[in-house]
Structure 1
Amino acid sequence: MFQTFQKRFHEYLAARRIQRTRLVGKDGRCNIEFGNVRHRNHFAFLMDFWTTFVEIRWRFILLLFVAAFAGSWFLFGLLWYWIAKSNGDLRWQEPLENHTHCVDNVNGLTTAFLYSLETQTTIGYGGRALTEHCGGAVALLIIQSILGTVINCFMCGIILAKISLPKKRAKTITFSDMAVICPKRDGLCLRIRVANLRKTLLIGSQIYGKLLRTTVTPDGETIIMDQVNIDFVVDAGKDNLFFVCPLLLTHVIDKASPFFEMAVDTLHKQEFELVVFLEGTTESTSYTCQVRTSFIPQEIQWGYNFLPIISRTKEGKYRVDFSNFSKTVPVATAHCAYCFHNEKGHHHHLNQNTGVENQGFEVIDIHEQSDGTKM
C-alpha cells in the first residue's frame, strides 16, 4: 500500500513538473508572468476598468458587489445623519414638539442608515419619509437615486458579461489527451481529435498550430520560444468547418514540416510544445471564441491511430461514442518520414486489428469514417 501511494505521489509530482514547464496548459491557460513592470503601467488597468472587472475572479466580483451596495448605503446614511443633525432632528438634540423635520422618523445613525437603504432600494416601508422643508435633503435624494441606478446597471452588466464570456463556450470544446503519428494520405501525418460537446455549431471555424521550441541560429543567437507554423486540415478543408461531430485534425509531415527530421526513437528526446488553436463564432451568441491546448513530446504516440467513434444506431441516428474519444490502437508505421518515402517496408510490423465493440450500434462500413467529417 505504501509503495502504491509513493508511486502515485511521484506521478503527481511529475505531472506538476510538466504543468509548470508548459507555456499553454491542457485547459488553454497560459503559464506566463510579467516581471519588472513599471508602476505607471498599472494605471492602464484602471483606464480600461471594464475589461479589468470582467476578467477578475468571481470572488472579487462578489466582494465588489457587496462593497458597492453596502458602502453606498452607509455613505449616504452618514449624509442623511448629517442633514438631520444640522436641522436638529435627532432625539438627543431634544427638538420641540412643533419642530419641522427634514426626514420624518430619522432620529439617529441607525435610522439614517435604514432610510438610506430604503431610498436606494426603493423599498419605502412608510415609516420614514422626506419632507419638502429642506432643499439639501431633496438634492441628496436625487443624487442617491441616480447613483443607485448607476451601481445597479454597472454590477448587473459585469455579472452578465462574465456569465456570457466566450471562453465559457470554449469549455465545451475538447481535444484528445494524446496526439498520434500514423500513415495517411501517402505520407506520415500527425493527428489530433477535437469534438464539440454542444449541438450548436461554431460558425467559420479555423484551425492552426504553433510549434514552440528553443533554437540556435547560425550566428549563435539563442531564440527562446521560437514559433513555427503548423498547418492542420481535415477532409472537409481547412476553413469553415462543419463542426457537427468530432473531427480529426491532420498535419502532413512533409519536408517543410519540423517533424520531418524526427523519428520514433528520437521524438520523446525532443524539447518542444505543440500549441493547437481553434477559433470560431458561436451560433447562439455571435461571440468569437478561441480554444487552445498543447502537446509535449511525451503526449505524442508514434505508430498509433485513433479508434473510430462514429456509428449509426438501429433507429438510423448517428451516434458518437465518447468512451473511445482518446483511445488509440497500434498501426504499422515507418520509423521516420524519410523512411516512409525512401525505404519502403521499413515499418513497425503490427497486426492491425482496429475493431471496436460498440454494443447497441448497427454494424456499418466505417473505413475512413474516423477521418474528418465523413460518416
Structure 2
Amino acid sequence: MVLKQPLRPSQRLVVRDGEFPDVVRLGDPHSPWRDLYHLLITIPWIGFIPLMGLIYLAVNAAFAIAYLIGGNHIANATNGSFFDTFFFSVQTMASIGYGAMYPQTLYANWLVVIEAFVGLLFIAMVTGLSFTRFASPTARILFSHYAVVAPHNSIPTLMFRAANKRRNRILEAQIWLTLVRDEYTTEGEFFRRFYDLALTRSHTPLFALSWTAMHPITPSSPLYGETPDSLAAANAEIIVILTGIDETMSQTIHARHSFIADEILWNYRFADILGWTRDKRRAINFNCFDQVSPIR
C-alpha cells in the first residue's frame, strides 16, 4: 500500500528546503532590510526579478523628474513631458544613445554624469547578485515521506530513504542523524535536547542512486524503549543532514529533512526500488520510493 503524506504541524524545529521555521523572536526585532544582501540572495526568482525591475523603473522615474526640474534641459524632448525624460533616462542608464535626445544644459549634463555612474553600479550589483544565485551549489536530494522501524538482522532498526535526483554522482556523501525531543530536568526546567543517532553506514564514497540509512535501536540508542506515543508526547523530531561534493561542479552541497513522530511508521517495511532493465542496466523505480507495507 502507498501512504499519503500527512499534514504537518504549523511549528517545527526543522523544515524542508527553502522554508524557514515558524519561530516567534521575542525581544529580537528583525527586519529583512537590515540584511539586504541575504534577502536578495534567498528570495525566489519570481520575487527577485520583479523587485529588480521595480527598482530599475523607480530609479529612472526619479531621474526623469530631476530632468524636468527647472525647464527644458533635454533637446528634442517635449517641454514638460515626463515620458520623454523617462525614456531619455533609460537610454542614458543603459548607454543606448539613440541620438534623438541629448542634454543641452550644464544641469542636464551633470545629471547624465550622475546617472551614468548610478547605472554602472546598478548593472554591476544586479549582475553579481544574479551570478551568485546561479552559482550557489544546490542539491536535488529526494527523501522518503516516512521513516520506518522494522527488524533488521533481528534488531529493531530505524530506516529512511534518500536518493539523488540529478543524473550525476555525489562524492564523499555523509549523513548526520539527530533526535530532538522535549525533556524536563529533575528541577522541572524545560529543555529541547539533541541526541546523535549512530548509523550502520554514515558515509559513502559514491552516492549515485539511492541510500537507505539505518539506525539500530539497541540499548545504547536514544530511541531504545520509545514508542509512537512517547515520541509524540515529547514532540520528537528526527533531523537529517546530508552533505557531499557534487561531481559536476566540484562544490560541497547539502540537503536537510526531518521526520516528526507521525512520520515514523512502526513495523513497516519499504518496498524494493532497485532492479534491472531488459537490457541489463541498473534501474531505480521512483514510483515505489515512498511505498511501504506492514510487517505480518
The bucket for the TM-score relative to the shorter chain is 0.7 to 0.9
Partner of 1:325: 289
The one-letter amino acid paired with 1:146 is F
Partner of 1:64: 51
In 2, are the aligned partners of 1:253 and 1:259 still within 8 Å (CA)?
A: yes
Summarize the Cα distance change of 1:50–1:201 in structure 2 as closer, same or farther, 3 Å threshold. Answer: same
Partner of 2:252: 288
Partner of 1:113: 86
1:277 aligns with 2:241: yes
Summarize the Cα distance change of 1:297–1:36 in structure 2 as closer, same or farther, 3 Å threshold. Answer: closer
Q: Between Structure 1 and Structure 2, which shows a larger proportion of strand residues?
A: 2
1:309 aligns with 2:276: no
> Superposed, which structure 2 residues align to 1:107-256 within 5 Å?
107-110=78-81, 111-130=84-103, 134-166=105-137, 169-170=138-139, 172-185=140-153, 187-223=155-191, 225-234=192-201, 238-256=202-220
The one-letter amino acid paired with 1:20 is S
The one-letter amino acid paired with 1:162 is R
| Shift in Å, 1:213 | 1.0
| Shift in Å, 1:257 | 0.9
Cα distance between partner residues in 2 of 1:48 and 1:66: 20
In 1, are the aligned partners of 2:183 and 2:234 still within 8 Å (CA)?
A: no
In 1, are the aligned partners of 2:74 and 2:85 still within 8 Å (CA)?
A: no
In 2, are the aligned partners of 1:28 and 1:291 still within 8 Å (CA)?
A: no
Percent identical: 24
| Shift in Å, 1:288 | 3.3
Partner of 1:369: none
The one-letter amino acid paired with 1:299 is E
Cα distance between partner residues in 2 of 1:48 and 1:149: 23
The one-letter amino acid paired with 1:229 is D
Q: 1:82 aligns with which of 69, 78, 87?
A: 69
In 2, are the aligned partners of 1:254 and 1:260 still within 8 Å (CA)?
A: yes
| Shift in Å, 1:198 | 0.7
SS of residue in 1 equivalent to 2:91: helix
Q: Which runs of 5+ in 1 are unaligned?
A: 1-11, 91-101, 332-349, 351-375
| Shift in Å, 1:60 | 4.3
Cα distance between partner residues in 2 of 1:117 and 1:174: 45
Larger RCO: 1 or 2 (CA < 8 Å, sep 6+): 2
Summarize the Cα distance change of 1:218–1:265 in structure 2 as closer, same or farther, 3 Å threshold. Answer: closer
Cα distance between partner residues in 2 of 1:316 and 1:79: 71
| Shift in Å, 1:161 | 3.1
Cα distance between partner residues in 2 of 1:37 and 1:270: 27
| Shift in Å, 1:215 | 0.7
In 2, are the aligned partners of 1:207 and 1:276 still within 8 Å (CA)?
A: yes
Cα distance between partner residues in 1 of 2:152 and 2:187: 38
| Shift in Å, 1:59 | 5.2
Write the deviation string for residues 42-99 of structure 1: whole angstroms up to 9, x where unpaired: 4xx555431122123445423421222112212222232336x2xxxx3xxxxxxxxx
1:258 aligns with 2:222: yes
SS of residue in 2 equivalent to 1:189: strand
| Shift in Å, 1:276 | 1.3
Which range moves more in the overlay, 212-221 or 26-35? 26-35
User: Which structure: larger Rg?
Assistant: 1
In 1, are the aligned partners of 2:10 and 2:22 still within 8 Å (CA)?
A: no
Cα distance between partner residues in 1 of 2:165 and 2:189: 45
Count of residues in Structure 1 that have an aligned counterpart in Structure 2:
291
Cα distance between partner residues in 1 of 2:217 and 2:282: 32
Q: Between Structure 1 and Structure 2, which shows a larger proportion of helix residues?
A: 1
| Shift in Å, 1:138 | 3.3
Structure-2-length-normalised TM-score: 0.84
In 2, are the aligned partners of 1:273 and 1:294 still within 8 Å (CA)?
A: yes
In 2, are the aligned partners of 1:192 and 1:250 still within 8 Å (CA)?
A: yes
Cα distance between partner residues in 1 of 2:50 and 2:16: 30
| Shift in Å, 1:316 | 2.0
In 2, are the aligned partners of 1:307 and 1:328 still within 8 Å (CA)?
A: yes
Summarize the Cα distance change of 1:109–1:205 in structure 2 as closer, same or farther, 3 Å threshold. Answer: farther
